[in-house]
Structure 1
């Protein structure tokens, strides 16, 4: 989940020191980890490394990143896996001679046995990390007479696990080596420099021309040249080059105090772009595959799993045999999965390791896979049979916002089209629902403008609470789960979601005076039952908050401490809109509690370690 960057430029390729360029690139990757940070630059006298524990803003000033110049540099921002956050465990890591430096995202699973072997050969290790073995292995092969590239390949033959690696060798000052296995890695093709990074926003300021590396690929970049190899054979890269439509402004805050708030406000545009891409051609293959399926698996992690639970509700309602599961729990379903089954694999980045491993396991059993992802040519789309892309643009905030709403948009459009195809929805029902879905961007603009001030005031109350319940029924349950996840992951309020009917089977024992309970109330058959659940909570002096369709406001107002009036929408469409006030509530509660919502503790944006 770490962020890595490598740059090789021509002399004078940048108007500022390369250390400053690397620092800016790393700032765009800080959502991937922020325990420690470091850079390495090739100088005339060898490799200069500056690294330390802490966030980029503090460490870069303390160590003077912006003053380091050169033409070849690597950088790393860390989310700790092996070894606690410390100056010593920060990347880059070097060999005994200081002529090899490495940055790494992933886990080297056999590092302990390699480390023991290298120590017996006289190598001295300075950190607790798995990454350091990479530098020492290369050093060992160079001492044996291998040329640098051959030494890198020999190292790759020895390590096991997941990795995105960028390697600097001072004897080759105008070249950086790279390798990918599972962990994401992208090459950027610039005019005066080439780049390799964990994610596109790192170098988007300088180029939008990219090559997404695939598992098992390795090679090197030079200022005007890229070489990629797999299994000892060169890869033709011409047809792999892609132009990314994102602009640098899309990956910057544009005046917002945090990326999360910016991305909440971007949702109307992101949904409109996603809708524009949902043509018949984009959906028809997936619809046909699902129509003919024996059973459907839906898998995802975190927010993507919650989107999948909405998809489960929609497809089960159409009569399909649907089995949703959290990606890391895929093993439970392997004995039942097989030919004739279809899986919907949902991942914003397309690189989520748990989902990628589950996709591979399902495909090995003969299951066809439809990917729903935001990143073109990422691993999960590449390894799936079909792919439907959301068009959310870059999402930098760790807490997913437009990821969720664009995923719901895709899943709803797919379900509606499938409903017509199998005869469960009439053409008029389909048209009405699609008309409403197409109006969501404008509806959402109005909702954000109408509720943000009230939510901000409510956050003053929530910021003083330690726990909360989020309750719903039907399709409102996964909606409540997503609202609770946002509150706990960025505001650190212990928030739990339950089906509202389950609350009296245990959870209600915690409810006392002032205990906040957030209700998701949709325009469906559950309204009267939810009315009873609200009464149960008020009878125990809970602090009740409700997202209520306008047609039911008079029914609920006297029972709720806070009534958030929402537009009355088709219950299938409503989750896309109703989740946004909950996102805003989590955001403002976090800010009121003094936390940075873009950098929640212990979390990273893309989970690329199992």
Structure 2
């Protein structure tokens, strides 16, 4: 994996490919490349293990003409980060080029067979075997050859194949996202519509099993037969959302966008949540318990929502790490809330196999309603965060917490667990979130530079929280790890004396989401007694006075101090800046994790 683009355009395609690839940089990648069909039926390929900018420089020094091509940003899963392992991959004749996202789980057996049949497989990656399989079946036409090739695969794939001789593009999808879109200047394929958003108004999403051929016309196949194209979907992404404007990096912009995102979520979901109409319109059955399912930041958001369900309505909840769901026992009458920013998280989709086997209803809480998760769920809650370019999630976390919280209110009111008057009061409380978030960001921007300067050379950080605030501390620790590459552990504050206190020595930074309780104060006293550097996020007088009471805006006790996360985002970013890290593209990370 990680990012696919392809195009058949009226003008030179290389600029289109590199511009689209730059919009996919947020997904994380180790190498990048393009292949373009030439008029004589050959391919020109350019690849690099540097950034898209380096590829642009290489193309400027050694230009490539042509109007049809494919491009890819690769996040290494098989094989080292080398130009030889970078996409696109070519067949033995140099006629075909392929880009692929996903994992081919039977690649080793296929590679051995191809070599026995005389193919030269030049790379270590699973993707290359597919282009050789297409090569073997090419006499039947490119679309049929791709169909014959994918019939031999196990695993997941979104792939685009370019035939340099005919100038045809063929794409196929199974368990990995791909969209097709037409605009005034051409036809485009991409793993994310954001890559091509400036050039189109509508797009179509490939379903599993679809094969689409882009030539002089665009044709669709499914199951070896001609098929109707999937429905058109409106592209709502604006060019402004894809630009970092005057910000130093996208993460800064996306931190600042959180008050607006919070207001947008509440405008969309608040009213139908407070009276239960959202629940009644969902078609979902009553439930006895709730399981939240996710990975990373999305799991942290799910845990925050689970905390709300338990605190306000006594609903039994369970948090399930999607990558560890093999032994998950899905109890009867469980409602599953599946959290995934992209809706393409492979671990979450695989865990749904277990859920579907038990017949539990699934609600998708995602920023991509048309994603694989959205299509598989019984009901979809769109997070309305807009495009998020920084790899480390910020505004999508806030959007998921608020969207999931609106669902929790709606479900509890709709099933009679809460009175409508209570639902109205809770949504009214949430109306303060945009101001709370804005206040937290403002306070952090003033206080964090000094704190970060004093702690950026530390070897690692501890994060503490109590109750529902623990899930927020978890997210703060994750942000610091992702951006700074320092270790960061998050613990319930009461557990400090049961082991983690051994990590505290003079100068150890300990970030605490401070609820003001005597129990938290006792934990912080233990840290100070051992010389630890307490960075408490709380009210007036705190090291980071970012919580509601600071500016006279009442906090929201029942959902916990969500606004503390913004302060921790700012802290993580500033520590990373001081350590010289790439803020928008942390090492070894990908935003849309389409492999297990």
**TM-score w.r.t. structure 2 length?**
0.94
Residue matched to 1:230: 222
CA distance in 2, matches of 1:608, 1:527: 42
Which residue in 1 is equivalent to 2:127? 131
Residue 290 (structure 2) aligns with: 296
- How far apart are the structure 2 equivalents of 1:546 and 1:487? 16
- Residue of structure 1 in register with 2:2 after alignment: 2
Flag the 1:251–1:265 CA change in 2: closer, same or farther, 3 A.
same
Cα deviation for residue 506 of structure 1 reads 0.3
What's the offset of the Cα at 1:64?
3.5
Query: What's the counterpart of residue 87 of structure 1?
Result: 83
Instruction: Give ranges in structure 1 of 5+ residues lacking alignment.
Output: none
- Could you say which residue in structure 1 is the equivalent of 2:574? 588
- The alignment yields a C-alpha RMSD, in angstroms, of 2.0
Identify the match of residue 565 of structure 2 among 579, 600, 608. Answer: 579
Q: Does 1:545 align with 2:535?
A: yes
Alignment of 1:113-512 (within 5 A): 113-142=109-138, 145-173=139-167, 175-222=168-215, 225-237=217-229, 240-278=231-269, 284=277, 286=279, 292-317=286-311, 318-334=313-329, 336-338=330-332, 340-421=333-414, 425-512=418-505
Deviation at 1:427, TM superposition (A): 4.8
Deviates more, 1:502-511 or 1:112-121: 112-121
Q: Deviations over 1:50-76 (max 9, x none)?
A: 112222122331354883222101101
- Which of 69, 92, 115 is the aligned partner of 1:96? 92
CA distance in 2 between partners of 1:286 and 1:63 (Å)? 53
Q: Distance in 2 between matches of 1:280 and 1:475?
A: 25
The 8 Å contact of residues 19 and 65 in structure 1, kept in 2 or not, is answered as no
- Which residue does the alignment assign to 1:528? 518
- Cα shift at 1:269: 1.3
| Contact kept? 2:443, 2:545, Cα under 8 Å | no
The equivalent residue for 1:597 is: 583
The secondary structure found in structure 1 opposite 2:545 is strand
Q: Distance in 2 between matches of 1:448 and 1:163?
A: 40
Give the distance between the partners of 1:132 and 1:565, measured in 2 at CA: 51
Does 1:609 pair with 2:595? yes
Distance between the aligned counterparts of 1:268 and 1:563, measured in 2? Answer: 19
Aligned to 1:49: 45
| Cα pair distance change 1:295/1:439, threshold 3 Å | closer
Residue range with higher mean Cα deviation, 61-70 or 178-187 = 61-70
Q: Please give the secondary structure, in 2, of the residue aligned with 1:122.
A: coil
CA distance in 2, matches of 1:132, 1:548: 53
Alignment coverage as a number of residue pairs: 586
- State the 1:204 CA deviation: 1.1
Q: CA 1:54–1:375 in structure 2 vs 1: closer, same or farther (change >3 Å)?
A: same
Shift of 1:565: 4.1
Q: Residue 200 of structure 2 aligns to a residue in which SS? A: coil
Residue aligned with 1:240, SS = coil
What is the distance in 2 between the residues matched to 1:128 and 1:65? 29
1:269 and 1:369 mapped to 2: Cα distance? 28
Instruction: Name the CA distance, whole Å, in 1 between partners of 2:118 and 2:578.
Output: 53
**Per-residue CA distance 1:204-256 (angstroms, 9 max, x = gap):** 12113111222222212236x4322221243323x611112220110121121
Note the residue ranges of structure 2 that are not aligned, 5 or more in a row. Answer: 550-554
**Corresponding residue for 2:25?**
30
Residue 552 of structure 2 corresponds to which residue in structure 1?
none
Q: CA deviation at 1:573?
A: 4.1
Distance 1:18 1:421 in 2: 53
Deviation of 1:125 (Å):
1.5
Query: Matched residues in 1 for 2:114 and 2:563: separation?
Result: 56
Structure 1 position 156, deviation (Å): 1.1
